Amino acid sequence: ASNSPKSSLPMGPPVYVDLAYIPNHCSGKNTDPEFFKRVRASYYVVSGNDAANGEPSRTVLDALLEGKSQWGENLQVTLIPTHDTEVTREWYQQTHEKQQELNIMVLASSSTVVMQDESFPACKIEF
């Protein structure tokens, strides 16, 4: 197993997926750099809109950069935040150069879905 107490992934080669949802609303409780070293996605969905509970966690966003830097291949990664939060905006601005170096794109919502009495931002992903 990993030296990290958070990682519960079995040892083995990395897993490549099209889309991965970052666990626990992007809370630092369950996700560390080892997650991003082992779960290699074209798209990562970052949920979380609860600053009081540390969601999304800056630590997890930084872990993406650290984990992706260990891939040894510069595959395109798209990060999809489900909410526009101060944490996400600050992280984006402060790490933009590193994101470019690692071929990470942050996708902002450009559409709004309206259903009955509520509306919310949305984005379309094609595989």
| C-beta atoms surrounding 13 within 10 Å | 6
Q: Are 9 and 20 in contact (CB under 8 A)?
A: no
- CB-based burial of residue 35 (10 Å sphere; 0-12 exposed, 13-18 middle, 19+ buried)? buried
Q: What is the pLDDT of residue 2?
A: 44
Please tell me the predicted confidence (pLDDT) of residue 4. Answer: 47
Q: What is the mean pLDDT of residues 94-99?
A: 96
Do 62 and 91 touch, CB atoms closer than 8 A? yes
Which amino acid, one-letter code, is at 43?
A: Y
Give residue 40's pLDDT.
Answer: 96
- Average pLDDT of the segment spanning 87-112: 89
d(CA 99, CA 93): 10
Look up residue 65 and give its amino acid.
Answer: L
Confidence band, pLDDT 50/70/90 cuts, at residue 123: low
Residue 1: its pLDDT value, please? Answer: 41
pLDDT of residue 66: 96
Q: Give residue 25's pLDDT.
A: 63
Q: What is the pLDDT of residues 45-89, one digit of tens each?
A: 988 777 777 668 899 999 999 999 999 888 999 999 888 888 888
